[in-house]
Amino acid sequence: MFKFPCKQTNTKIKSSGLLFFLFTILVGAIAVNSGNNLVYLTFSVVLSFLILSGLLSYYNQRNIEVIINLPDMIFAGENTTISAQIVNKSPIPKFFLTLEVLNKKAYFEEIDQKSIKTLKIKFEKRGKFTLESVKIISTFPFNFFVRSRTIRLKRDVVVYPQIKKVALKIRAKTGQSNNEISRLVKQESDEFYSIRQYKNGDNSKIINWKASAKLGKIMVTEYTSTENNRALIVLDNSKYLYNSIEEFENTVIKVSSFVYECYKSGTKVSLISEITLPFAKSTAHFKSIFNFLSTVKLKDSLPIKKIDSAILPEDIEYV
């Protein structure tokens, strides 16, 4: 959650405002040349109207606060929903404000105390990006001026690699053959472990309908797992193994997609690369893996020695 005051401003005159400004000058010129008091009065009213427009536009963007909520996990290539909230700290309502975040806009017609909108944003590449700023734009009240306030953020956003549907290939050396990762890396016993709330990716077969009806939300039953409920994954980022950056990026996507499947199925994962992350299945552990995968690059290093029990990128295929 980011909170920030509005400070930097920028004002542009629209074509309608320019025409009205030229009309004001014309009326002023006529008043000077004619000396007619009625024309002077008309000029004063028109000029006051123009000044009032600027003042109302200025005060319409004062005493407000913007709150941006980003999801914990952001994946490249997916529409990410963020919430944008404008809080009005003034007793006077605000009108017709547009909030611009990463080239996406949310329109607020009226803000009494606070108002929330959602935006869909897509990051095309993995990595760490800086959310430089957001803008608050308004043409209130008479559409003469476009007034914008820029809020500097300088906040890092971590975008995880793109996730695709993957499966493990047939592994001749072990005789294993399976197109469902959850069946290969997750083996459940009949021993009851716990009941928890359903999350995206859970197998519908483990839904506990009795508990769901009682609690009013979808619940699933968890069982204790055998020692086979874990996966050792190797991502070798030695530059001597790849013909191009694109090939390496494709490998990162495969590994990330497999790790994500393990995350959904509750499988313990250990990742070996230029760093080693031990077996675990907590959300924090998977975030650590994805954080590494979001920034991993090719290195001028020797390839990793082969590990018989490890799952390699070539063992993973798209489905």
Total domains in the fold of the chain? 3
- Are residues 215 and 241 located together in one domain of the fold? no
Other CB atoms closer than 10 Å to residue 172's CB: what's the count?
A: 8
- Are residues 264 and 298 located together in one domain of the fold? yes
CB within 8 Å of 172: residues ≥ 6 apart: none
Residue with tokens 């009065």: 41
Q: Rounded to whole angstroms, what are the CA distances from 6 to 65, 95, 212, 232, 306?
A: 7, 16, 46, 49, 55
| Predicted pLDDT of residue 8 | 66
| Predicted pLDDT of residue 194 | 63
- Are residues 60 and 29 located together in one domain of the fold? yes
217 touches 197 (CB < 8 A): yes
pLDDT of the chain, 319 residues: tens digit per residue: 434 344 567 788 888 888 888 888 898 888 888 878 888 898 888 888 888 888 888 888 888 888 888 898 999 999 999 999 999 999 999 999 999 998 899 999 999 999 999 999 999 999 998 888 889 999 888 888 888 888 777 778 999 999 999 988 754 333 444 444 444 444 444 455 567 787 765 667 778 888 888 888 888 776 654 445 789 999 999 999 999 999 999 999 999 999 999 999 889 999 999 999 999 999 999 999 999 999 999 999 999 988 878 999 999 999 8
The two three-digit tokens of residue 9, written as one number: 């401003």
- Are residues 15 and 138 located together in one domain of the fold? yes
- Are residues 200 and 237 located together in one domain of the fold? no
- Are residues 44 and 98 located together in one domain of the fold? yes
| Predicted pLDDT of residue 274 | 93
Range of the domain at 258: 166-187+228-318
- Are residues 36 and 127 located together in one domain of the fold? yes
For residue 9, the domain's CATH number is 2.60.40.10
Q: Describe the chain by its helix, strand, coil percentages, rounded to 5.
A: 30, 40, 30
- Are residues 9 and 95 located together in one domain of the fold? yes
